[in-house]
Structure 1
Amino acid sequence: MNATPSSRPIVSAAELAEALAGPRPPVLLDVRYRLGGPHGRPDYDAGHIPGAVFVHLDAELAGTPGERGRHPLPDPAEFGAVMRRAGVSADRPVVAYDGDKGWGAARVWWLLRWTGHADVRVLDGGLGAWRGPLETSAPEPEPGDFVPRPGGLPLLTADTAGEFARSGLLLDARAGERYRGEVEPIDAVAGHIPGAASAPTTENLDAEGRFLAAEALTARFTALGAAEPGTEVGVYCGSGVSGAQQALALELAGFVPALYAGSWSEWSRDPARPVATGAERG
């Protein structure tokens, strides 16, 4: 399925600097996040792009961990309140950035798109690509008016993800060794959803941490079967964070993916759900 986004989901550092100097600057969201590590507030306080508002991924972009996984979708009303406090309005562009691999920034990009915001982009290359000044003081933005309306992007559940792996193309965005079940550093069970194909997010980026050109991404996902006639594409990861980065890469490549937000951390909690190991899709 081909995408028809209103604008590219990424923006270069030069384009961002120009937009910030223009008459309608975007809302800036700093979503620095480390898998399994401390959140990025200390890094934000040490230096961030002027005007950026810090958003805490675990506390503000996810619900309470539990049966729905480690990073379940936040309550839409609570998410909307967080975005309004950050200055997000329905008619104002938003740019999100992080410091590593685009995971945190893509999480808020996906959530805003899913809840109906039409103009959201991720800074390509993250903070490392920024060549402008940094500041240490936190801004106090005027409250925005954004009201979430879920349903703007396709979403999979545990029940539909298993069926999707059989009827469509379900991509596993985790590292290959986790997909194969050789290691599992976080969740209780190792392996992958039967029928899913391995597609690590690291292969979406170049050596400098920027997304590959759209043509290269299209070739990558086409080789995995995404362009087969009638094929719908879905993606999951460990807990729905890196999977959002994969969803962004798929959109760059021209596809409209469905995200399984609960991902492996939800799937593997239920012993009745099947688990595959090894390099084959199962």
Structure 2
Amino acid sequence: MTLPVLIDAPELASLIDAGTPPILLDVRWALGDPNGEEHFREAHIPGAVFVNLETELAAPPSKESGRHPLPSIENLQEAARRWGIDDGAPVVLYDAVGNMSAARGWWLLRWAGLADVRLLDGGLPNWESAGLPTSVGTGEAVLPGTVTLRGGQMPTIDIDEAARWNGVLLDARAGERYRGEVEPIDPVAGHIPGAVSAPTAANLDANGQFSEAKILRERFAALGDTDRIAVYCGSGVTAAHQIAALAIAGYDATLFPGSWSQWSNDSARPVETGA
């Protein structure tokens, strides 16, 4: 993947000041925190549109498909037009948790065929620490867009393909969940047999920004064969962050959207625990 993944706060601010802002999407969401829209109203980057991860970036949950199945391309296109996206329009997404949730939107729009889609490195905290302005309230009205989306432009695997994956399968959850020591939300603790632990938190530096490409390359190269990588997490959200980090490092990767939430609900699937 050679397309740029990130934009920094000064570059984004200069685009806004020049009157050529990208479509700005605020994906405020975190596991256990359903109040993203409230956080948006308290402070957001001027011109941003709030995106609801649960309802706009995912289909309804089920035991068979997981907690955050991919939305249909029709529903995603309807949402993208509602956000004001036209064909060829640049898009920047951000959140307040190191892009752990915004990366889901980044991946989905790339999967749907948009080329110029980037993450604001460091998200809203980095924007604010740079002394840049924020707005309050529900956000400005936007004109409906006309974008046409086409799914399948980023690779995915289903649960059976994950079971027989012939390559490196990265588990992007926290190490204690991988090892089966805790499981806060899914029915079974542990990991897919043969998967390698690679927590997404290690993609970021002390400032909540993505580590340099060289550091990320070294990190992923140490985990196994970088020619054939698939990634899963709890429900397919933070796995997208891992794919973004891999893209920064120069590696392509495949998403298992159902992730552990799908695997752990299938009693026929084997489970491993420990390191």
What is the aligned partner in structure 2 of residue 9 from structure 1?
Answer: 5
- More displaced stretch, 210-219 vs 130-139: 130-139
Task: Output the amino acid matched with 2:156.
Answer: L
Rounded Cα–Cα distance in structure 2 between residues aligned with 1:185 and 1:270: 18
Matching residue of 1:202: 201
2:149 is matched with: 148
CA distance in 1, matches of 2:117, 2:249: 17
Structure 2 residue 109 is matched with structure 1 residue 112? yes
- Partners in 1 of 2:255 and 2:147 — Cα distance? 22
Show the counterpart of 1:78: 75
Cα deviation digits, residues 77-111 of structure 1 (max 9, x gap): 11111111111122110000001121211000000
Aligned to 1:133: 133
Question: Which amino acid counterpart does residue 253 of structure 1 have in structure 2?
Answer: A
Q: Deviations over 1:194-253 (max 9, x none)?
A: 1110000010001110000000000000001143xxx31110000011101001000000
Q: TM-score, normalised by structure 1?
A: 0.94
Task: Return 10-19 or 106-115, whichever deviates more.
Answer: 10-19
Distance in 2 between residues matched to 1:110 and 1:208, nearest whole Å: 23
Q: For residue 98 of structure 1, what is the aligned residue in structure 2?
A: 95
Q: 2:254 aligns with which of 251, 258, 271?
A: 258
Q: Partners in 1 of 2:77 and 2:140 — Cα distance?
A: 19
Judge conservation of contact 1:39–1:56 (CA < 8 Å) in 2.
Answer: no
1:191 counterpart = 2:156: no
1:236-255 alignment to 2 at 5 Å?
A: 236-255=232-251
Indicate conservation of the 8 Å contact 1:236/1:243, yes or no: yes
Deviation beyond 6 Å, 4+ runs, structure 1:
none
**Structure 2 length-normalised TM:** 0.96
- CA RMSD, aligned part only? 1.0
Q: C-alpha displacement at 1:22, in angstroms?
A: 2.8
Q: Is the 8 A contact 2:235 2:260 kept in 1?
A: yes
Deviation at 1:162, TM superposition (A): 1.2
Gaps of 5+ in 1: none
Shift of 1:21: 2.1
Cα distance per residue 1:155-203 (max 9 Å; x no partner): 1110111111xx1011000000100111101100001011110000010
* 1: CA distance, partners of 2:78 / 2:235: 23
Once residues 158 and 22 of structure 1 are traced to their aligned partners in structure 2, the CA distance between those partners, rounded to angstroms, is 46
How big is the shift at 1:4? 2.5
Q: Secondary structure at the match of 1:155?
A: coil
> How far did 1:23 drift?
4.7
Which of these residues, 22, 29, 49, is aligned with residue 26 of structure 1?
22
Q: What is the one-letter code of the residue matched to 1:124?
A: D
Say if 1:134 and 1:23 are closer, same or farther in 2 by CA, change over 3 A. closer
More moved, 35-44 vs 244-253: 35-44
Q: Where does structure 2 lack aligned partners over 5 or more consecutive residues?
A: none
Q: Is the 8 A contact 2:98 2:121 kept in 1?
A: no
Q: State the number of aligned residues.
A: 270
For 1:187, give the aligned amino acid. D
The separation in 1 between residues aligned to 2:218 and 2:208, in whole angstroms, is 19
